[in-house]
Amino acid sequence: MNLHFASRHPRLVLGLGLGVCALAATVALVFAGKRKPDDVFVLRRNFETVLVQQGDLVVPVPASGIFVEKEKKLLASPTSGTVEEIPFAPGAMVKKGDVVFRLSNSRLAEQAQASRVALEKANLDLKEAVLSEKIEAMAQSSRQKELERGLAIEVRERDALRPLMERGIISKLDMARADAKVGGLRSQIAEQADRVALAQDLGASRIAIKEEALKQAKDGLALAQQKLEELKVRSSVDGPIQDVFVELGQAVSPGEKLALVSSSNDLIAALKIPQAKAASIAHGNKATLYVQGKVVRGTVVRIDPKVRDDSVLVDVAPNEPLPFGVRAAESLAGDIEGAPTSEAVYVERADDIQPFKERDIYLLSGNELHRQRIQFGALSGKYVEIRSGARPGDRFAIGLDQALYAKAALTVAD
């Protein structure tokens, strides 16, 4: 302010100062009148915001259903017999190889006993044939050695007569007789060698026949024992016994149904989805199964072409081992990956935002937060679908103190 002017007009200056003070007081009263006594201020740095978006989003289709068996095994009677024992009742879990039924058959038992007797006889016959062959071989060998010894004596005697013949002591006729005797023994030795070889061949043939008879007896006993073993009807899969069709003491015929066993290793999830959502589901789509509080990933393997009660049945095969103890007909829930939709409204997931929950969320508008009831839908990756309560472009305030949610509105301060 110009000092000269102020010194000449002191009252005017004082009036201007008082006017400025009055104006400031009036502005303060106006703002004080706008502020409510119960307003709650929140510092902007104490919370974060996430943007509500709209666009392409794969929204899982919620589903529910039960586990069903991919494979069932029908146990049938292998032969005629009587149900002697039923170790397991319907609903019991059995392992592959467990005996589910024991049948009795007197005819098969008699055949097995006869086969044992035949095997023992075949064993004895073979031993007898081997012993006979040894005895015959020894006899033939002894005869040949005896002839060879006789030949050796005759050869020496003949050789001793030759000098005597040359000196005329003995006649040439006696010498010829000695040569004939040696030749005869040599012929007998050759014939005996043939007899030894023939005896060996005959003995080997008799032994081979007895060995074949023994093999047949063993095969016969093995077959009889196999038929007896088949009277123990065993499960071919791991799983529960679904049903038993016979009673203790009942006579059964070959091929008659005994029980139905389900395979617990090949369970699939049979899930129902609304008919309106079926168009967004395709073979090979990923799915999430919620089983006994655990998450199991799966894949769509079948979509029922029929519609029942406005629902479509979708089969999902687990890609991971199921929790221990899960069995057929056990209920479960799941989410099936659907086709992307451009109309989806969604927001990035945070601790304050959970799928399939309805809760109050503060929406940021300028410097104010307004509480709004939001209904969330399915989870898709890091995003959560919004079913109602918000529009694209809205901003959610997250990370606020839970005590603040009692207020319908909050004021944001920098």
* 329: CATH: 2.40.30.170
> According to the model, what pLDDT value does residue 6 have?
43
- Kindly tell me if the per-residue pLDDT of 319 is higher than 80: yes
Of residues 245 and 35, which shows the higher confidence score? 245
> According to the model, what pLDDT value does residue 38 have?
64
Do 239 and 91 share a structural domain? yes
Identify whether 298 is part of a domain.
Answer: yes
- Kindly tell me if the per-residue pLDDT of 92 is higher than 50: yes
- Kindly tell me if the per-residue pLDDT of 26 is higher than 60: no
**Residue after which a domain boundary falls, among 285, 307, 339:** 339
Asked whether the beta carbons of 81 and 103 are under 8 A apart, the reply is yes
Q: CA-CA distance, 301 to 315, in Å (whole number)?
A: 6
Do 358 and 323 share a structural domain? no
> According to the model, what pLDDT value does residue 377 have?
82
Do 364 and 312 share a structural domain? no
Identify whether 28 is part of a domain.
Answer: no
Do 134 and 224 share a structural domain? yes
- Kindly tell me if the per-residue pLDDT of 325 is higher than 90: no
CATH code, domain carrying 243 = 2.40.50.100
Q: CA-CA distance, 290 to 356, in Å (whole number)?
A: 14
- Kindly tell me if the per-residue pLDDT of 62 is higher than 70: yes
- Kindly tell me if the per-residue pLDDT of 297 is higher than 90: yes
Identify whether 20 is part of a domain.
Answer: no
Q: What percent of the chain lies above the pLDDT cut of 90?
A: 53
Do 126 and 225 share a structural domain? yes
Q: What percent of the chain lies above the pLDDT cut of 70?
A: 90
Do 293 and 209 share a structural domain? no
Give the pLDDT confidence of 351-361 residue by residue, as tens digits.
Answer: 888 888 898 99
Q: What is the mean pLDDT of residues 364-389?
A: 88
> According to the model, what pLDDT value does residue 381 have?
76
Secondary structure letter of residue 322 according to DSSP: P
Do 149 and 47 share a structural domain? no
Cα–Cα distances in angstroms (integers) from residue 133 to residues 36, 65, 94, in the given order: 125, 77, 56
Identify whether 17 is part of a domain.
Answer: no
Do 111 and 222 share a structural domain? yes
> According to the model, what pLDDT value does residue 69 have?
81
Of residues 266 and 92, which shows the higher confidence score? 92
Give the pLDDT confidence of 110-144 residue by residue, as tens digits.
Answer: 999 999 999 999 999 999 999 998 998 899 889 99
Nearest to 285 by CA among 295, 294, 297: 297
> According to the model, what pLDDT value does residue 269 have?
92
Count the domains in the chain.
4
> According to the model, what pLDDT value does residue 70 have?
78
Q: Produce one character per residue of 365-404: b if its CB has 16 or more CB atoms within 10 Å, e if not.
A: eeeebebeebebbbbbeebbbbbebbeeebbbbbebeeeb
Identify whether 128 is part of a domain.
Answer: yes
**Residue after which a domain boundary falls, among 210, 230, 250:** 230
Do 247 and 224 share a structural domain? no
> According to the model, what pLDDT value does residue 279 have?
83
Residues of the domain holding 382: 41-59+341-413
> According to the model, what pLDDT value does residue 14 have?
40
Give the pLDDT confidence of 166-175 residue by residue, as tens digits.
Answer: 888 888 898 8
Q: CA-CA distance, 208 to 403, in Å (whole number)?
A: 99
Do 359 and 334 share a structural domain? no
Identify whether 12 is part of a domain.
Answer: no
| Helix then strand then coil, % of the chain, to nearest 5 | 40, 35, 25
Give the confidence band of 264 by pLDDT, cuts at 50, 70, 90.
low
Do 132 and 222 share a structural domain? yes
Q: What is the mean pLDDT of residues 87-107?
A: 92
> According to the model, what pLDDT value does residue 327 have?
77
Secondary structure letter of residue 272 according to DSSP: E
> According to the model, what pLDDT value does residue 57 have?
80
Identify whether 355 is part of a domain.
Answer: yes
Secondary structure letter of residue 276 according to DSSP: G
Helix (H) or strand (E) holding 187: helix 172-230
Partners of residue 318 on adjacent β-strands:
298
Do 312 and 284 share a structural domain? yes
Identify whether 31 is part of a domain.
Answer: no
**Residue after which a domain boundary falls, among 339, 359, 374:** 339
